[in-house]
Amino acid sequence: MDEASLAGSAVDIGETMQAIAEHKGCGASGGSGKASCGSQAGQGDLPTEIWEKVKNHPCYSEEAHHHYARMHVAVAPSCNIQCNYCNRKFDCANESRPGVVSEKLTPEQAAKKVLAVASTVPQMTVLGIAGPGDPLANPKKTFMTFELVAKAAPDIKLCLSTNGLMLPDHVDTIARFKIDHVTITINMVHPEIGAKIYPWIFYNHKRHTGLEAAKILNDRQLQGLEMLTERGILCKINSVMIPGINDQHLVEVNKAVKSRGAFLHNIMPLISAPEHGTVFGLNGQRAPTAQELKALQDACEGEMSMMRHCRQCRADAVGLLGEDRSAEFTTEKVMAMDVNYDLQMRKAYQAKVEEERVAKVAAEQEELAELASEMSDIKLLVAVATKGTGLINEHFGHAKEFQVYELSTTGAKFVGHRRVDHYCRGGYGEEESLATIIRAINDCHAVFVAKIGGCPKSNLLKAGIEPVDQYAHEFIEKSAIAWFKSYLAKVQSGEIQHVERGEAAIRQGALISAA
C-alpha cells in the first residue's frame, strides 16, 4: 500500500472514530446491558476497521482477555514526572503493580524475549511497553524495540502506555511504526487537582512544580490524545481513583476524553499500601472500596465504554491478564533459548481460540433467550474462579483472583476482579487467607468454582456466600445465567429472600507468584 493509500485509510478510520464519539457509540448501553463499543463490544457492535484492531487485544476487549495474552518489556527506565501513587522498583519479584520489574532489558534483549514468549505462548498477541518509567521519556529504546519486533514478528500488535507529557512530540513516529493502541494516564483536567497528585514534572530541560506543572501536563495530554485520534489510533485512558482528591472529578475527566475521541476509559483503584513506599501510601491516603469503584465506573459508563478487567500490570508482565509467567522468561533463560518463530503454528492456534469464542458466545445467547421472559429488578454480583478461556476451571483454594459478574435479566456483565492470596498452601488451608478472600468477595451472592473443600464451603455459607461447583469446566456466562434463573425462581416461590450484600475490600499487595 502506498503512502497516499495509508493516509486515506487513517483518515477513514479517524472519521469513523469521530462519528462514534459524537454519537456516543463508545458508551451507549444497549438492551443487553453491554456497551456498544469498546471493552465489552462484539464484532457486530463495531466498524470492521475497529473490530480488527481490538478482537484479539486483551486490554481493549473484555471478551478477548479470556483467550489472548499480552507481554510487557521493561526497556524504558527513566520517567519525566513524579506521581504521588508511584514508586518504581527494579529487581523486585514480590509486587504486582505498575512501575515494578525484575530486570531491565536492552531493545535487543527485549526483541529476543518477545520471540521466545510468542513461540511458547501462541495466544500472545500484543507487545506493550509501559515502563517501568515512561516509554516516551526513553524514545530511542522504545522505538528501537518496536522496530526490531515488527521486523521479526509482524503479526504481533504494538502498544504503548504513557503519561502523555511528551506525547505530542512523538505522534508522527507512533503512526509511522503502526502502533495502533496507545494508553494515556489522565487523572485530572483541573490543575488544582493535578497539583495534589503530581509534585513535579520535567519538561523542556526544566523542573516545574505545583499548578504550573499540572497545567503543562494536562495540556500536553489532551493535545496528544486529539492528535492520536485524528490519525485513527485507538486510545485508552487510564485514571487512578483517589478518594477525596479526584474521585468525583473523574466524571469530568471521562467527558473530556470522550469528547476528544478516546475509545475506552479505565478507572483503576489507587494502590496505597504503606509497604509500597509511595507518598500516598506513607501519608495514609486510603484506596477506594469495591463499591465506590464500581459506582464511579457505572456513573461514567453512560458517556463511554469502561474497561473493568484491568489488572494494573507490572512493567514486565507476561501471559493472560490475571497471570504472570515472566519468571519463565528471564534474560538468562531467553538468551539460552534456540527460538523458532513459527507464524503458521501461531495462526493455527489462534484459529482454534476463535472457534472456542464462537462456542462461548452461542452458549451464552442460548441461556439469554430463556432469561428474556423473566421480569425482575434484581441485580446481584457473583465471583468466578477461572484460569482463563472463559471457563469455570479453577479450584477455590488455588485462585489468585476472582472475576466478578453482575447478573440481571439482561444477562451476565463482567464488572471487575478481586485479587486474593492462595487459600491452599502445601495441601493445607490458610484460615487467615480465607478471611481475606471472604472480605474480597463479600458483596457477592455466590462464588463459582471447579472444586471446593468442606471447610471453605462451610465458612462461605456462614458469610452468606453460596459456593457453586455444579458448573465446573463450563462457560462462565452460560452457567451464571442458568444459576441466576434458578435464584429468581427461588425468590419468586418464597424459598429464599433476596437481600443486598455488604461492602467488599479491594485486596492490595497480592503476590504475583503462583507457587
448 phi/psi in degrees, rounded to 5: -95, 130
Question: Cell for 50?
Answer: 475497529
CA distance 514 to 249: 37
CA distance 145 to 112: 10
CA distance 265 to 302: 12
Mean per-residue pLDDT, 62-73: 81
Q: 75 with 142: CB under 8 angstroms?
A: yes
CA distance 270 to 508: 9
Q: State the burial class of residue 500 (Cβ atoms within 10 Å of its Cβ: 0-12, 13-18, 19+).
A: exposed
Helix (H, G, I), strand (E, B) or coil at 346: helix
Task: Determine the straight-line distance between the first and last CA of the chain, rounded to whole angstroms.
Answer: 49
Strands (E), 9-93: 69-72, 81-82
CA distance 410 to 420: 29
- In this predicted structure, the answer to whether residue 44 has a pLDDT above a threshold of 70 is no
411 phi/psi in degrees, rounded to 5: 125, -160
Which range (6-20, 184-198, 484-498) has the least confidence? 6-20
CA distance 198 to 369: 50
Highest-pLDDT range among 398-412, 424-438, 494-508: 398-412
Give the position of cell 457453586: 468
Instruction: Give DSSP secondary structure letters for 364-413.
Output: HHHHHHHHTT------EEEEE---BTTB---BGGG-SEEEEEEEETTEEE
CATH 3.30.420.130 segments of the chain: 373-493
Q: Would you say the pTM of this structure is higher than 0.85?
A: no
CATH number 3.30.420.130 is the correct assignment for the domain at 373-493:
yes
CA distance 231 to 492: 53
Helix (H, G, I), strand (E, B) or coil at 193: helix
Give the position of cell 459524537: 22
Mean per-residue pLDDT, 309-326: 74
Question: Cell for 512?
Answer: 504475583
Among residues 257, 243, 237, 249, which one has the least CA distance to residue 293?
243
pLDDT (0 to 100) of residue 116: 92
- In this predicted structure, the answer to whether residue 509 has a pLDDT above a threshold of 80 is no
- With residue 158 as reference, give the H or E element that holds it: strand 157-162
Mean per-residue pLDDT, 374-402: 91
342 Cβ neighbours under 8 A, 6+ residues apart: 119
CATH 3.20.20.70 segments of the chain: 48-336
- Tally of residues, the chain: 515
CA distance 233 to 60: 12
Strands (E), 213-280: 234-241, 264-269
**CA torsion, ordered 227, 233, 234, 239, to nearest 10 deg:** -40
Mean pLDDT, the chain, rounded, equals: 83
Mean per-residue pLDDT, 406-417: 91
132 vs 484, higher pLDDT = 484
Q: What is the pLDDT of residues 266-294, one digit of tens each?
A: 999 998 878 778 899 899 999 999 889 99
pLDDT (0 to 100) of residue 231: 94
Helix (H, G, I), strand (E, B) or coil at 33: coil
Strands (E), 6-156: 69-72, 81-82, 124-129
- Which CATH number is 48-336's, of 3.20.20.190, 3.20.20.70, 3.30.750.24, 3.40.1360.10? 3.20.20.70
426 phi/psi in degrees, rounded to 5: 65, 30
- In this predicted structure, the answer to whether residue 6 has a pLDDT above a threshold of 60 is no
440 Cβ neighbours under 8 A, 6+ residues apart: 290, 402, 418, 419, 420, 504, 505, 506, 507
pLDDT (0 to 100) of residue 137: 95
Q: 165 with 109: CB under 8 angstroms?
A: no
At 210, the pLDDT band (50, 70, 90 cuts) reads: very high
CA distance 230 to 387: 38
179 Cβ neighbours under 8 A, 6+ residues apart: 146, 158, 159, 160, 233
- With residue 486 as reference, give the H or E element that holds it: helix 476-493
Q: 139 with 176: CB under 8 angstroms?
A: no
